Structure 1
Amino acid sequence: MTAPAHDAHNARQERPSRTALGRALLSAGVLTPDWASAFAAVPRSGFLPDLIWPWDMETGQSVPVSQTDAPEAWYGYADADVPVVTQWDDGRHTGTDPGNVSASSASMPSVVFGMLADLDVKPGHRVLEVGTGTGWNAALLAHRLGAENVVSVELDPTVAAQARTALDRFGLPVHVVTGDGLQGCRERAPFDRIIATCGLRSIPRAWVEQSRPGGVVVAPWGTHYSNGDAVARLVVADDGESASGLFTGPVEFMKARTQRRPLVPHAEYVTGSVADGDASSSTVTEEHFLGGRFSSQDFVLGLCVPDCVRVMAERDEGTHAVWLYGLTDRSWACAQFRDHAATRVWQSGPRRLWDEVHAGLAWWTAQGRPAVERFGLTVDTAGDHVWLGEPGNPVPGGAAA
């Protein structure tokens, strides 16, 4: 996959679609005035390869678009507030059809600028970015702070090389390190700010150690329960031993490769029929259980039912089955939601996973169904701990899976 053959000057040329994007982001309050000049000078289009797979809102799937073959459509997606996949299957993918696992991307501009606002950079700050990707986020930071104050770490050598090329083309020679960003970049520490552009299931201790006291870490965090994350904004304590702060909102990111969800082979859990499990019924409805996209339910249940994966089957003639798989043993549960009928449940194994879900929903309801922004995260030498409202109020089971 190669970068498009346009130069930085052509990429900067103003287009109606890009102007509309800027106005929409400013109107929504996502693009703040202090980032407006970076948005104007550093377009996302200058960091995308010729072949991209943007998320098409109408079809609900990734679609291949080539700048060479369809430049108008390509720029339309580059200037749209949609995520754009730039690599599949850790670089093993070939052809134009989408691959199996998205491995690198350019995030939605609204998410990018929302997280940059959370980062709250000031002149002179030194920033570590984990997950260089296309290089666009690093370029925005470099435009604001100077390239000498930004270090970016990318695990994939090919992706890192392409990002360096794009950054150099814009005159923003950020120091891009090819390596494991979860280890930070000790030789360039300490940092005033650390930002991750990949979803995490635990915050690396190295990031806290490589931050200055009072430094800020911004990272998407979640559990293996679902793909949903929330942006954690953590402030490093004065003693440098811990970091703590609230979540600022729900997001969904590609996961750090070493923290991806483990495989859950169904046949190793359900060796016979679902009817072999213990059967019961439940008053929990599909809406109460699932909510909508970016709902609090997914996030909260991931906390209250740790070490668990939720998998949704395709809807079939008025029924919708949802499976739960334990990650520490072979416990499983299946809930079958039916239109205008009680929910049927089967579960098996040492853990009663559906009972844990039911208890988690009851706890969340008793707390007033708090949104993601009411929860917070503390990272210390003992790991990650999630709380509600304040650190002294832990969530039942609220640690990373």
Structure 2
Amino acid sequence: MSDMSSERQALAARMHEAGVFAHPGWRRAVEAVSRELFLRPGVFVPDTAGRWSPVPVDRISPALAYSDQSLVTQLDNALTTEDVTEAVCGAPTSSSTVPSLVVGMLGKAGIERGHKVLEIGTGTGYSTALMCHLLGAEAVTTVEVDPDVARRAREALGAAGYAPRTVTGDGLLGHPERGPYDRIIATCAVRRVPDTWLRQTGPGGVVLATLGSWPNGAGLLRLTVRENGDADGRFLGHTSFMQARAQVPPPVAGDLAARTAEADSDRTTDLSPSLLLGGGMPAFLAQLTVPGSQVIRASGLGTVLVDAERGSFAQLLPAGEGWRVRQSGPAALWDEVEAKVRAWRAAGRPGIGSVRLRVTAEAHVYRIGDHPALRWRH
């Protein structure tokens, strides 16, 4: 048995011990699909200086290829290991996601033989291959927005012996030509569930996606589509995925210092802005409350919550034992966040599994239990 093969079997065994597999078919898929084929032309690994060091595919060790970790394959929407020879700075924009997370999501989506599946975000194609192994390639459609990423995934899938329908385009639009689907699964994060996904899912079908727009605090959502096209569901846990490119908030134009120079209100709060950055329920609630916002930390400006689309900001600065809050624009962003977090605390700090969502053509309606202050819509 080759080193790659033995490491693949070992990864499957570890995932089995951890209870990752919803049924034995997924273990067989992990044992059969060669992850190294989906790491071409190579991966980037972080160094101690906060940069990314390139590791060409022929230097990827079996232990790295079958480690249960995310392996970055692209930086800044363009760079691959073919483009650089030394460590570089950049933001990851494509990766081979943690295998146990991928397989766990496939199980949580309830994917079974006989299902027709649409995958949003092909990425490297590894998760696509796992579904092809279980369902047969003819049952799988996958959409990738980045042409270069899509090309590499298509080549890797072919090398692995799979030929699903691969589409280059905006995954938020789905792929109606092959619908309706029994399952839609997204490997990118979205701020809102596109109504196109609901329209392309048959009654009783499931949409599984990550909802959230910040690096920390997003949630894994499972929705069941009803006969009338609405969908109901709940959050299964905290997770993190790269944002769907079409839903990345627009860059904050101009000088942040100039943007925050004048405020409509100025008050104090005992809630720390760290709740926006620390993950967990506070960050999760905050981003669902002000979903178009970005969190920016800038020297001398403290922590700034900016909603460029609504022209609003909330700036938090240290003030004694608390914080000073300066706000401006049509939306009082911190007031909205603060009210939600305080209501959540007063309700006993329920976990993410208590958050329900109904999606209609008009709105996303969230609720936590029967608390009036913990029911809101966007």
Q: TM-score, normalised by structure 2?
A: 0.87
Q: Does 1:167 align with 2:167?
A: no
**What is the CA distance between 1:166 and its match in structure 2?**
1.4
Q: Write the letter of the residue equivalent to 1:150.
A: V
In 2, Cα distance between equivalents of 1:210 and 1:160: 22
- Candidates 349, 355, 366, aligned match of 2:328: 349
Q: Deviations over 1:7-34 (max 9, x none)?
A: xx9796222xx44433332222223442
Determine helix, strand or coil for the equivalent of 2:28: helix
Q: Deviations over 1:236-276 (max 9, x none)?
A: 1123x1111111111111111111122124625635758x7
Match of 1:39 in 2: 30
Larger mean CA deviation between 325-334 and 124-133 belongs to 325-334
Name the CA shift for 1:225/1:291 in 2 (closer, same or farther; >3 Å).
Answer: closer
- Between Structure 1 and Structure 2, how many residues are aligned? 373
Q: Deviations over 1:104-127 (max 9, x none)?
A: 211111210121111111221111
Larger mean CA deviation between 180-189 and 46-55 belongs to 46-55
Determine helix, strand or coil for the equivalent of 1:81: coil
In 2, Cα distance between equivalents of 1:187 and 1:327: 35
Q: Write the letter of the residue equivalent to 2:282.
A: Q
Match of 2:227 in 1: 238
Q: TM-score, normalised by structure 1?
A: 0.82
Q: Does 1:263 align with 2:251?
A: yes
1:100-249 equivalence runs, <5 A = 100-222=90-212, 224=213, 228-239=217-228, 241-249=229-237
In 2, Cα distance between equivalents of 1:360 and 1:123: 42
CA contact (8 A) 1:214 1:237 kept: yes
Name the CA shift for 1:199/1:13 in 2 (closer, same or farther; >3 Å).
Answer: same
- Candidates 321, 333, 347, aligned match of 1:367: 347
Determine helix, strand or coil for the equivalent of 2:255: helix
Q: Write the letter of the residue equivalent to 2:312.
A: S
Q: Deviations over 1:162-209 (max 9, x none)?
A: 212211222221111122222211111111111111111121212111
CA contact (8 A) 2:188 2:243 kept: yes
Q: Deviations over 1:301-357 (max 9, x none)?
A: 11233433222347x9xxx9321113344432222358xx51231413134433333
Determine helix, strand or coil for the equivalent of 2:205: strand
In 2, Cα distance between equivalents of 1:296 and 1:398: 18
Name the CA shift for 1:308/1:180 in 2 (closer, same or farther; >3 Å).
Answer: closer
In 1, Cα distance between equivalents of 2:88 and 2:203: 43
In 1, Cα distance between equivalents of 2:372 and 2:208: 22
Structure 2 gap ranges (5+):
none
CA contact (8 A) 1:193 1:216 kept: yes
Match of 1:4 in 2: none
Match of 1:282 in 2: 269
Name the CA shift for 1:194/1:55 in 2 (closer, same or farther; >3 Å).
Answer: farther
Structure 1 gap ranges (5+):
1-8
CA contact (8 A) 1:279 1:347 kept: yes
Match of 1:3 in 2: none
